[in-house]
Amino acid sequence: MSLTFFVEDEMHGRIRRFADDAENSFLNLCRKAAADGSVVMDVIDPYTDTMLNYIQLDRLIAELAKTLDGPLAPNVRTIAQEVHKAAQEAREISGYLFIQGD
């Protein structure tokens, strides 16, 4: 199982794509965040698709910023920073972050 991320514009045109690492670091981070009470990262599922709109992106950006302030393994920090950047990018263009599960 693996997650693939797409930054989409407001018409769902795909601007860029990237994927979680081989260890599923972002997916594992989401599972931990869900157990800790996340309000956004808990909806990211490896077996289905997730599309985050501008309201959800604001929440994801805040959750990831808080997560990035704490201690993280280097590989987890790298993918979390990439998702944070993608969420900000999508939000700036009033677009979406589409997360494709396996």
Instruction: Return the pLDDT at 4.
Output: 97
Give 53: exposed, middle or buried? Use CB within 10 Å, 0-12, 13-18, 19+. middle
Model confidence pTM above 0.85: yes
Which sequence spans correspond to the domains of the chain? 4-100
pLDDT of residue 102: 80
Q: Are 24 and 1 in contact (CB under 8 A)?
A: yes
- Closest by CA to 99, choosing from 60, 55, 44, 31, is 44
Across the chain, mean pLDDT equals 95
Question: DSSP states of 29-92 as a string?
Answer: HHHHHHHTT-SSGGG--TTS-EEE-HHHHHHHHHHHHHHHTS---HHHHHHHHHHHHHHHHHHH
